[in-house]
Amino acid sequence: MRVCWWALLMCLAWPSAWAEQALPTDIQLVSEYWPRHTNPDGSGVAWEIMREVFEPAGVAVAARNEPYMRSIGLVQRGEADAWLGSYANEISERVIYPHHAYDADRIQALGLVTQPQPTLDTLTRFHLIWIRGYGYNEYLPGPLRFQEVERRNGILDMLVRNRADFYIDASTEVADVLAASREAERFRTYDLTRLPLYPGFADTARGRALAEIYDRRMAELIRAGSLRPIFRRWQQPYPFDKDMENPNASP
């Protein structure tokens, strides 16, 4: 009789257990606005990839732009499910990272043409600047001599006045900074490395379930080459080709 009652109780418990494990039907994504990557109108490489990942799996995508550090805080507090544009293990508290990256930043150095060409091996010789919170010192060989700045609009002036030797950032941001100059010929950009980009998920049951869906779907899409048209449409390099798999390889 004990076995029968135990079996009956287990049968009664199963429906509630399955209900608790029901997969999410939507995902709240946040990201800083990066042109052509996460545009406010919902277009851009990253937003399109996320819709391709989640919507065929029955997960509706809601996306909005927030400043980068605020995006992280929203996810850590469980007020959003994931933010985009994170480097591997960039944040360690109340966040989980999937196995698969969705894109890769081409990291560049911007400096005056009079500066010697920098490489990964020679960065330690220079005074570097980048935007606060980006933490390139964690991903570039060091120790580095660097300064974090709040805004990009004063970067060219710092370089001209020799307050820094090189500005470090992703190629799209470097291009935007350089486009604001009336003397672009005074500056030169140098490719340094590539860093994979990940979504950072909330460390909750819901976040873990969404991360599992993301990894499963990304594996399928990469294997099938289904994301290639998105990168081609936005004129961005496809990050999953064999010659781009090593995140620390020189371009």
Distance CA 223, CA 138 (A): 30
Distance CA 38, CA 228 (A): 17
Domains 18-103+196-244 and 105-194 alike in fold: yes
**Which pLDDT tens digit goes with each residue over 72-94?**
999 999 999 999 999 999 998 99
Cα–Cα nearest to 102, from 62, 67, 53:
53
Give Cβ neighbours of residue 181 (< 8 Å, ≥ 6 apart): 156, 187
pLDDT at 251 over 60: no
**Which pLDDT tens digit goes with each residue over 51-69?**
999 999 999 999 999 999 9
* pTM greater than the 0.85 cutoff: no
CATH class (in words) of the domain with range 18-103+196-244 = alpha beta
Stretch 44-48: mean pLDDT: 98
The domain covering 105-194 belongs, at the CATH homologous superfamily level, to Periplasmic binding protein-like II (3.40.190.10)
pLDDT of res. 21: 62
Distance CA 135, CA 129 (A): 11
pLDDT of res. 54: 98
**Which pLDDT tens digit goes with each residue over 153-168?**
899 999 999 999 999 9
Going from N- to C-terminal start, the domains of the chain cover 18-103+196-244, 105-194
Whole-number percent of the chain with pLDDT over 70: 88
Distance CA 194, CA 237 (A): 11
